[in-house]
Amino acid sequence: MVRLDIIGLARGSIEAARWTDGRPGRLDVTTEAFDWVAVLDDDAFDRHAPARRHPECPERLAAARDGLRAALPASSQRRLAVRDATVAELERVHSRAHLSAMSAALDGRFRSLDADTYVSPGSRDAAFRAAGAAAVLGDALARGEVRRGFGLLRPPGHHAERDRAMGFCLFNNVAVAASSARAAGARRVAVVDWDVHHGNGTQQIFESDPSVLFISLHQWPLYPGTGAPEDIGRGPAVGTTANLALPPGSGPEDYAHAFRVVVRPLLASFGADVLLVSAGYDAHVRDPLGAMRLDAATYGAMASELAAAADALGHGKVGFILEGGYDLQALEASVSETVRGATGATQSLPDGRPSPAAAAAVESTRRALEPHHALLARPLR
């Protein structure tokens, strides 16, 4: 069954948006309530299944679907078709050599592409459909057909580089969404990646493209070993990559500090027409692949912050694309809170002090980007 679930959105306008000097880092945005979110899902995503026990499994998607249903009323859903990605859409972000290699690998058999990444008999349908769904989401956001969207996509994508599959990822879904948004008329697109692992593929694809801002909040050190603070883009795109390489054990206060000092000002400075989120949930305290201390409420608060930032820019266009998250209970709860935060259940990141190690990591990123963004000229307090 092929579907794009639509859970309707009230056509409201922003009545007021302002940065305040009261409570630290608070953004006050008044909007009419959102009644729907575009949800992209497809049964093909379940058919990407490992031959033996593996953390990236179909049960993850079942948990994410349960979380979404808990946050959104089923009675307001309607279905539209998603589709496979076209070769042209994939070639915007991947090399022809990679597409040829993937066509050969996706031959209907179980195989390992590397120590972490598998393909199965159902992976071809899942990978092309996930990338196509991402293209649909990016296009719909850019054209103003939706203002909030969530792609329940498998396999995940943010590790896939221009010419390489890796880290459970075959095609880079969020990159396809961003390039499709650009093709549909968005002048600038921002991608915020809160997965516990650095989105090396997304960075590599866009690090020389000044029309795409990439912000990653990730554990450092950790796989894949990329995402250092001094990596800020290349050539004409210097200043459009931000790596917040946070130490193991970072929690809600540390992420809140990163949002206040770097994420908020960068989004305001860049002025993207569409905001995309690589929504991985493996920085949750329960997750077996990371060592961070987030909880479901923190994901809801980050989603609320990003939705408010998009509303403050005057368009409110935010699309979330599922990446990691390998504890099923944590994944279900975190997706629920993300959807609630993105649709008007205002949640605030905590005001507590960050750890000295996290504060130092954030300051390294701020200093690296300071020459390129006036709003980062001094840390916010």
Q: What DSSP designation does 94 have?
A: S
Tell whether the model's pLDDT for residue 12 goes beyond 50.
no
Tokens of residue 199, six digits: 């989105």
How big is the chain, counted in residues?
381
For residue 292, which of 362, 194, 188, 213 has the smallest C-alpha distance?
A: 194
Region at 227 (left for phi over 0; alpha for psi -120 to 50; beta for the rest): left
Contact present, 13 and 32 (Cβ < 8 Å):
yes
Catalytic positions: 159
Tell whether the model's pLDDT for residue 80 goes beyond 80.
no
Tell whether the model's pLDDT for residue 18 goes beyond 80.
no
Tell whether the model's pLDDT for residue 21 goes beyond 80.
no
Tokens of residue 362, six digits: 């954030």
Tell whether the model's pLDDT for residue 176 goes beyond 80.
yes
Alpha helix (H) ranges present in 16-122? 58-71, 87-91, 96-105
Q: What is the pLDDT of residues 291-340, one digit of tens each?
A: 999 999 999 999 999 999 999 999 999 999 999 999 999 999 999 999 99
**pLDDT at res. 223:** 98
Tell whether the model's pLDDT for residue 243 goes beyond 90.
yes
Q: How confident is the model at residue 169 (pLDDT cuts 50, 70, 90)?
A: very high
The mean per-residue pLDDT over the stretch 270-276 comes to 98
Q: How confident is the model at residue 34 (pLDDT cuts 50, 70, 90)?
A: low
Q: How confident is the model at residue 26 (pLDDT cuts 50, 70, 90)?
A: very low
**pLDDT at res. 72:** 86
Query: What is the CA 6 to chain-centroid distance, rounded?
Result: 19
Cα–Cα distance measured from residue 241 to residue 266, given in angstroms and rounded to the nearest whole number: 10
**pLDDT at res. 142:** 97
Contact present, 41 and 80 (Cβ < 8 Å):
no
What SS3 class is residue 132?
Answer: helix
**pLDDT at res. 36:** 82
**pLDDT at res. 162:** 98
2-7 sheet: strands from edge to edge: 77-80, 2-7, 37-42, 148-151, 318-322, 274-279, 189-193, 212-219, 241-246
**pLDDT at res. 11:** 29
**pLDDT at res. 81:** 74
Contact present, 237 and 210 (Cβ < 8 Å):
yes
Q: How confident is the model at residue 33 (pLDDT cuts 50, 70, 90)?
A: low
**pLDDT at res. 4:** 37
pTM above 0.85, yes or no: yes
In sequence order, what E strands does the chain have?
2-7, 16-19, 27-30, 37-42, 77-80, 111-112, 118-119, 148-151, 189-193, 212-219, 241-246, 274-279, 318-322
| Contacts of residue 218, Cβ cutoff 8 Å, sequence gap at least 6 | 193, 195, 196, 197, 198, 199, 227, 243, 244, 245, 246
The mean per-residue pLDDT over the stretch 228-240 comes to 98
Percentage of the chain modeled with pLDDT above 70:
88
Q: How confident is the model at residue 75 (pLDDT cuts 50, 70, 90)?
A: low
| Cα dihedral sign, 156-222-274-260 | positive
Contact present, 258 and 301 (Cβ < 8 Å):
no
The mean per-residue pLDDT over the stretch 351-357 comes to 96
**pLDDT at res. 123:** 98
Cα–Cα distance measured from residue 369 to residue 371, given in angstroms and rounded to the nearest whole number: 6
Q: What is the pLDDT of residues 336-353, one digit of tens each?
A: 999 999 988 878 999 999
**pLDDT at res. 318:** 97
